[in-house]
Amino acid sequence: MQKFKEIVMYIVFLTAAFVSIAAVALICVFLFVNGIPAMKEIGFGKFLSGNVWQPSNHQYGILPFILGSIYVTAGALIVGVPIGLLTAVFLARFCPKPLYKVIKPFINLMAGIPSVVYGFFGMCVLVPLVRQLFGVNGNTMLTASVLLGMMILPTIISVAETSIRAVPDKYYQGALALGATHERSVFLTVVPAAKSGIMAGVILGVGRAIGETMAVIMVAGNQPRVPDGLLKGVRTMTANIVMEMGYAADLHREALIATGVVLFVFILIINLLFSILKRKTVA
C-alpha cells in the first residue's frame, strides 16, 4: 500500500514538472497555428515590411508597429539604462547602510506597481507635461519612452546590483591600493567586471519594455502609421493587439494574432540572449 502511494505521488510530481513544458508547447502551437496561415495569406513580405495598416481595405502591414516597438524600447533604454545602472552602482557601493534600508524597499515596490497605474500616472502627469513643454498633443513616442524607462528601472537596478555585488572585493581593494579614488576603483574595475551581469539586466529590461502593453497604450497615441519623430504618436505591436482585438474578425483577427507571433519571436530571441549571458555570468 505504502509502495503504491509512493509511486502514485511520484507520477503526480513528474506530471506537475511536465506542465511547464506542456504550457510552452501549447502556447507555441496555438500562436503559430493561428498566426502563420494569416501571414501566408497576406504574404510574409507584405505582412512584415508593408507600412500600411488598413484592415478595412485589407492592407495588413505591421512594419509601423515593429518599428514603433523598437523605437519605444530604444527610447526606454536611453532613459532607463544610465539611471538604472548608476543607481545600481549607488546601491551596491555608495549607499550608506541606513539609507539603503529605506531605498531598497521602494525599488522593490516599484517593480510591483501594476502597469495600469504607471499608465494612468503617465496619462495624468507626463502627457500634459509634454504637451506644455513642446506644444504638441502629449501622446508621443517621447512620453511612452520616458514612462517605459521608468518602468524598466527596477529590473535593471536589481539585476545590475546583484552582479556588481558578486564581483570579488579584491578587484576594488587592488585598485584602491594602487592609489585610485573610490569612484575610479568602482567604475574602472568593479563595473567592467560585472559587465555581463549588467548586460543581462539590460536585456531583461528590453524584454519588459517590448512586451509592455497597458502603460504604452495609455500614453503613446497609437496612430497606425510609421513613426516619424519623437514628438509624434506611435503604436507598438502590443498596443495593436489590444486596441483592435475587441472588434476584429476573420483575417483581421488572424493578422492580430500574427502580430502576437512576431512579438513572441522577438521575445524568444531576447530570452535566448538573456540565458546565454546569464550562463556566461555564472561561469
Partner 1 sequence: MADKITTSKEQSAASATEISGINRRGLKQRFAEYKRKPSSMILLILVWMSAFITVAAIGFLLIYVLIKGIPNLTPDLFRWEYNSENCSMLPALINTVFMTLLSLLIAGPIGIFAAIYLVEYARKGNKLVSVVRITAETLTGIPSIVYGLFGMLFFVTALKWKLSLLSGAFTLAIMVLPVIMRTTEEALLSVPNSYREGSFGLGAGKLRTVFRIVLPSAVPGILSGIILATGRIVGETAALIYTAGSMAVVAQNLFSSTRTLSVHMYLLSKEGYHTNQAYATAVVLLILVVLINFASDFIARKFAADTAQQ
Q: Is the CB of 136 or the CB of 267 nearer to partner 1?
A: 267
The secondary structure of residue 108, as a DSSP letter, is H
Binding-site member from 61, 68, 75, 119 for partner 1 (CB under 8 A): 119
Does 268 sit near partner 1 (CB under 8 A)? yes
Q: Is 234 helix (H, G, I), strand (E, B) or coil?
A: strand
Where in 15-74 is the site for partner 1 (CB under 8 A)?
A: 15-21, 23-24, 26-27, 30-31, 34
Q: Which stretch binds partner 1 (CB under 8 A): 57-65, 78-86, 158-166, 227-235?
A: 78-86
CA nearest to 41, candidates 254, 216, 219 = 254
Least distance to partner 1 from the beta carbon of 168, Å? 15
The least distance separating partner 1 from the CB of residue 228, rounded to whole angstroms, comes to: 25
2 vs 57, which CB is nearer to partner 1?
Answer: 2
127 near partner 1, rule: CB under 8 A: no
- Residues touching partner 1, count (CB under 8 A): 87
Alpha-carbon gap, residue 121 to 174, rounded angstroms: 46
What residues are paired with 234 via a beta bridge? 221
Phi then psi for 153, rounded to 5 degrees?
Answer: -50, -55
- All 3 cell numbers of residue 275? 540565458
Residues 148 to 167 in contact with partner 1, rule: CB under 8 A: 150, 153, 157
Distances (CA, A) of 63 to 141, 262, 270: 16, 11, 19
Phi, psi torsion values for 59, nearest 5 degrees: -110, 115
Backbone angles phi, psi at 137, to 5 degrees: -60, 130
Residue of 38, 72, 89, 142 that binds partner 1 (CB under 8 A):
89
Q: Restricting to residues 210-249, name those near partner 1 by CB under 8 A.
A: 210-214, 218, 238, 241-242, 245-246
If the CB atoms of residues 10 and 44 are measured against partner 1, the closer one turns out to be: 10
Q: Work out which of 182, 192, 276, 280 binds partner 1, going by CB under 8 A.
A: 182
Q: Which of 266, 270, 276, 83 lies closest to 197 in space, CA to CA?
A: 276
Closer of 40 and 182 to partner 1 (Cβ):
182
Residue tagged 510591483 (cell numbers)? 112
